Each structure stands twice: as C-alpha cells, then as structure tokens.
Amino acid sequence: MTWPEQSTVCQMARVPVTLTAEIFAKTFMISVSALEKIYPAAGKATPVLRDIHLEIKKGEIFGIVGQSGAGKSTLIRCINLLEKPTRGQIWIEGQEITALKPKALRLIRRQMGMIFQHFNLLSCKTVYENIELPLKLAHYAEHKRHDTVLALLHLTHLMDKQHCYPAALSGGQKQRVAIARALVYQPKILLCDEATSSLDPETTKNILQLLKDINQDLGLTILLITHDIEVIKILCDRVGLLDNGQLVEQADIVSFFTAPVSTLGKKFVSHALKQTLPAVLAKRLQRIKKENSHAILRIVFRGHAAAEPLIAHLMREMDMPLNILQAHIECLKDITLGIMLAEVMGDQTTLQHGINYLLAKGLQVEVIGYVDESLA
C-alpha cells in the first residue's frame, strides 16, 4: 500500500534567516508558533498551554512526553483544531490553518489521522465496518471503500478479524482497528493521543512496531504524546518535554537521553536508563573533591564505540585503573548506547588525561562526584 507522492520540503540549510514565519513554516510538516490555550474557570483564566513553539519535519516520529496534567492532550487536539487555541498559529505543510473556514478545515483534517487511548470503536459494527465508516460518511464509491479497507486490514494484520465485533477483540487488536480507521483518507500525518496507555507491555511493543512500520513504509509523519518515557525511547526520532504547559526541552533522541538540560528531563532519563545510583554509592558521594578522594565517572558509549575495548586500553596503556560499579546497554530506536559508572582507582593525576582520551574517541564523560575511600 503506497500513499500518493507528497510535495518536496525545503532543506533548512537553504532557508534565509530573514524569511517570515509563514514561509519558515513551509520547511516543516507541522509548525506551531506562540501557541497558547487558556480555559476560563470560575471567572478565572487558567492557562493550559503557554507560548508553544514546535517544528516537526516531514517523515519523522516526534514524541511529546510529560507528566499527567502537563497539557499534552490539549496540545495535540489544538494541532488539528479539535481544541481552538486562544492565540498562536499552526501550519500544516506550509498552510496556516488556525483561521480556516469549516469546509477548508475539514479537508486539512483528512491529512491528519488520529488515534486515541480508548480506541473509540462502534460496538455495533464489525472491524470491516468500523474502518469503512469514515469513507461511507464521505460518500466514497463502494469499490473504492472495499479496496481501501482490504488494504488497511492487510497493513494492520487484521484480515482474519474483519467480520468480528469489538467485544471479541483484544486491546491490541482494537487499537489496530483504530489505526486502520485513522488511515482511510491516506493522511500525511498521524496523531497519537496516549495510544498505548491502555495496553500491556508486550502489546505496547507490537503497536509501536506497527507505528514504526507505517512511518517507514508510508512515509507518514507521526506526532505522539505519552507519559511513558519507554515509548519515546523505543519509537521516536525527536522529543519535546512538556512541563506545566510549557515545552521546556526539545532535542533529538540521543541528545535528550544522554544530556538532558531540564530538571524534569533528567528525572525522566534517569528513570528510563536505570541510572539510579547504588545505595552504597549515593550515600557516600560528594560533589567536592578532597585530598585522596576518588572520582566517579559516568561514561556513555554510542554506536561502534560500545564495541571497542576503550576501557581496557585506558587501564592498560594509560595506567588508569577503574572499578566498574554499574554498566548496561540501552537501545534508543535504532541506536545502541552503553552506559557505565566507574570509580577511578589509585593516583588521580592521570584523571584528566584519561577523560580527554575518552572524549577524543567520541564518548561522553562526566565526573558525577567523589568518594573518600575506594568502593572496591
């Protein structure tokens, strides 16, 4: 199943810095500028989204992560104007949509499929009929509806369930039906509102793999929101962190997980990468270096460096013995990271020389503190 060819998007490097916001927005599939959403409540204005600026490239998977109540669902509903922003502008493939009339907005919304946490299927209709319904309401010809539904049943691995009713389906199968239904108009964008929150871990992995396949095979741009940092780690190319209605951090997936800049980002990453310090280390760790204290290093290996014997070379050739306290491998989408906590033993005079060696090899190295006596 192949979507119609989409228009070419300008490369950022070729865009002059003097362009207006409208022309600048054309370089992205989704562009959001100065977006705010305020709800009146008991005579008092309650801001839910504040000064949101966001750009999502054609064909990428962008994740918005945040705690409950951060404004994630409001943001994604503003992007397709299910919620009307209080102020700000939204562009879809260069077209500003916040001032469109209803008929023009309906056409734009067909470019944006959406799936929800609770599936929203009609219990009185079969899988086939649930997928077909939007096309029927839009008065598509019967043969066109039939061909489209069969193609989507095949894409979502539901051919054997087409005559079943939702009550006979598992949670994962229901979400596959919802995904198929969201794709009936061959959209360019798929919006996912906590699409895996109601699913068990194994089913979540299967749905995330399906979304990844759809992104790669059909070239869809996917924007998803979630409170689950594991979803971001498995699926996304880039991530935005929403905190109390503000985007406090945006980064590519590796930068976010290896060098988060916000306090909340560090909290999410520490949990996701299992970086909680062993209790014996956390209790003794000090930020200030004292005489005869030992440095504790956090070392991050990326890609091929994770397979090189760099630590062995450091210990053997540079006379910098390490006591490895904790080490594990993480996968961020298709990128492998190795993460290690190590204590620098003995003479500390070679510390900076060793750190410089690792940095030159492309590793990230951070002195997270010091201990007075060896943990060995």
The rounded Cα 257 to chain-centroid distance in angstroms is: 11
Of 35, 12, 36, 37, the closest CA to residue 24 belongs to 12
pLDDT at residue 287, as a whole number: 83
CATH architecture of 23-111+187-272: 3-Layer(aba) Sandwich (3.40)
C-alpha 114/C-alpha 111 separation (Å) is 10
Place of tokens 């509806």: 145
Parse the chain into domains and list their residue ranges: 23-111+187-272, 120-186, 279-371
pLDDT at residue 177, as a whole number: 96
176 three-class SS: helix
Q: Are 231 and 204 in contact (CB under 8 A)?
A: yes
The class of domain 279-371 in CATH terms is: alpha beta
Q: Matching CATH topology for 23-111+187-272 and 279-371?
A: no
Rounded (10°) angle between helices 127-137 and 142-155: 140
One digit per residue, the tens of pLDDT, for the chain of length 376 reads 554 443 332 333 333 433 444 544 556 889 999 999 998 876 788 889 999 999 999 999 999 999 888 999 999 999 999 999 999 999 999 899 998 898 899 889 999 999 988 888 999 999 999 999 999 999 999 999 999 999 999 999 999 999 999 999 999 999 999 999 999 999 999 999 998 988 898 999 999 999 999 999 999 999 999 999 989 999 999 999 999 999 999 999 988 988 889 999 988 888 787 766 777 777 888 888 888 788 888 888 876 665 567 777 777 767 778 888 888 888 887 788 888 888 888 777 778 888 888 888 888 888 888 887 665 5
Give the helix/strand (H/E) hosting 36: strand 30-41
Q: Are 133 and 125 in contact (CB under 8 A)?
A: yes
pTM: 0.81
